Amino acid sequence: MDKFFRIRIDSDNIENLTNFIKENPLDIGCTGGITEYKDGHFSIEAYGNENETKKLQEEALKKSDKITIDLVDITQYLSDRQKEVGTGDRYKDKKESLQGYGTKVKQ
């Protein structure tokens, strides 16, 4: 498995942060977008593999007075979580009922 990182991107200016995100397409997952803190700085979490993260670091260095990046290697965490993911169609034998607001599609 390739290395995978949680990336926290910070700035004291929302426009700088917004522009950085637009210039560097990121997987922000379901993080909720940009967070504003009481001390006046702004932050967003993103996710990326090793190559994406390296490129992002290089871009951040060019704007070191405006953008800071903090990385956390989450490779092992993802590997452990993926072990919990089942395979196949758990609803095939109709032992469990479907839940949620999805629409049933005939295949």
35-44, 55-64, 72-81 — most confident range: 35-44
pLDDT band at 107 (very low <50, low <70, confident <90, very high): low
What confidence score (pLDDT) does residue 18 get? 92
- Is the entire prediction scored with pTM above 0.85? no
For the chain, what is the largest distance between any 2 Cα atoms, rounded to a whole number of angstroms? 58
User: 78 - beta bridge partners?
Assistant: none
Domains parsed from the chain with CATH numbers: 4-82 (3.30.70.260)
Dihedral of alpha carbons 15, 37, 57, 54, sign: negative
